[in-house]
Amino acid sequence: MLRVDDLTVSYAGVTAIRGVSLGVAEHEIVALLGANGAGKSTLLRATSGLLRAESGEIAFGGVPIHGLPPVCSPSSRAWPSGGSRSRARCREASSRCSRSAAR
């Protein structure tokens, strides 16, 4: 369901994570553990679209999501889990992203 391949993210020229790959299957529960400064938050921010990766790929359900704005990614707050209002926001965001990607 979620796939991260060879992800590299830097802050102001300093590499925070390099070559990270992982996969999370549907209905799988995963814990991300590591020492302070190991890159846990950076990985989650990049996966959710809050940070832009220098290289690598992020895909959700087989669809590449790296480079999309956070509102368009399934890990965003607009993803359908909070009732019909949330699902409507997701549909609206998805249509905006589809139109943007078509340009």
- Same domain for 90 and 57: no
Q: Identify the pLDDT of residue 10.
A: 94
Is 15 in a helix, a strand, or coil?
strand
- Same domain for 73 and 59: no
- Structural contact between residues 24 and 30, judged by C-beta atoms closer than 8 angstroms: yes
- Same domain for 77 and 58: no
Q: What is the CATH number of the domain that holds 55?
A: 3.40.50.300
- Same domain for 90 and 41: no
- Structural contact between residues 23 and 2, judged by C-beta atoms closer than 8 angstroms: yes
- Same domain for 41 and 78: no
For 26-44, how does the pLDDT look when each residue is reduced to its tens digit (9 = 90+)?
999 999 999 999 999 999 9
Is 80 in a helix, a strand, or coil?
coil
- Domain membership of residue 25 as a residue range: 1-67
Mean pLDDT of 5-26: 94
Q: Identify the pLDDT of residue 46.
A: 92
The one-letter code for the residue type at 55 is S
Mean pLDDT of 58-78: 72
This prediction has a pTM of: 0.67
**What is the count of structural domains for the chain?**
2
Categorize the per-residue pLDDT at 68 as very low, low, confident or very high, splitting at 50, 70 and 90: confident
Mean pLDDT of 84-100: 57
**DSSP E strand stretches across the chain:** 2-11, 14-24, 55-60, 63-64
**DSSP assigned state of 65:** -
Q: Where are the alpha helices (DSSP H) in the chain?
A: 40-47, 84-102
- Structural contact between residues 61 and 1, judged by C-beta atoms closer than 8 angstroms: yes
- Same domain for 51 and 20: yes
